[in-house]
Amino acid sequence: MARRPDRVRIVGIPQDLGQSLRGVDMGPSALRYAGLARRLSRIGLSVEDAGNVEVEFRDLLDGESGMACLDAVAATAERVARAASSAVSEGSVPLFLGGDHSIALGTIAGVTAEAPVGVLWIDAHGDFNVPETSPTGNIHGMPLAALMGLGAPELVDLCRKGPKLEPPDAIIVGARSVDEGERRLLSEHGVGIYTMREIDERGISAVAREALKRLEHRDRIHVSFDVDSLDPLIAPGVGTPVPGGLEYREAHLLMEIVADDGRLSSLDVVEINPILDERNRTAEVAVELVASMLGQRIL
């Protein structure tokens, strides 16, 4: 019988420093407004909302975005890592509300402080760029590479020197927009990746179960859920939408399979941009999916 989490600690990270488009800093508020804590309480979880981690105000920084915000992103990640490590050591499942995907630099550094984890990276993108390969210079396209020791030392050496993940520790699911440079890096480092073509051909059930099996060498699983992995028709409120993403039923089944696995120990929900959304629809969909990942069942 799968072990279901019983204590969840919500941590907001209202950061938009990792990309040029404004608005994802309001993602934590959108998820809270969509009833996240109430929904999790209804399925029997003990829910603590720890508020937001401090993030530097972008309008007060010298640089507009990208690598110009490197120091500020790194400072936020250090604070996030401390919050993550504390939640894990106190027996809670930390649920991190982004913010852009650069928050994973801190969340994963923190949850791996005492022991490694396997990471299910659910995303339309690879997030495996380094400054030399990135077409935009945006840090939210670099976190997975940095967590594996590639790229800017300021990101690689956050919290403790060196990689926080080894290539076998991470599996990308739902990719459909990968830059040329990161395609090469992903191949060179042997990172597992399931594109939407594979999901179309094989079905999400087979892909999800195989991905989790490839992470069976780890006792804990961290899910980093970028909402742009969903098709824009059901999740329009994201900054980098890509057509042809996961349909609602596919995403729902994926989350249920993760819950059934019983190893979920921490998760991120990132890249919701309420400015681009329709009546908070994207946040509401995300709340439903998170609830399924944390044990909500039909019967």
Catalytic residue list: 101, 123, 125, 127, 140, 226, 228, 271
DSSP E strands: which ranges in the chain?
A: 7-13, 46-52, 93-98, 118-122, 170-175, 192-195, 221-226, 264-270
d(CA 33, CA 42): 16
Structure tokens at 266: 């921490």
Residue 191 in contact with residue 170, Cβ under 8 Å?
A: yes
For CA atoms 173, 174, 179, 183, give the dihedral sign: positive
CA 7 to chain centre: 20
Q: What is the Cα–Cα distance from 271 to 26, expressed in whole angstroms?
A: 10
β-partners of residue 270 are 226
Residue carrying structure tokens 């990640």: 77
Question: For residue 195, how many other CB atoms are within 10 A of its CB?
Answer: 18
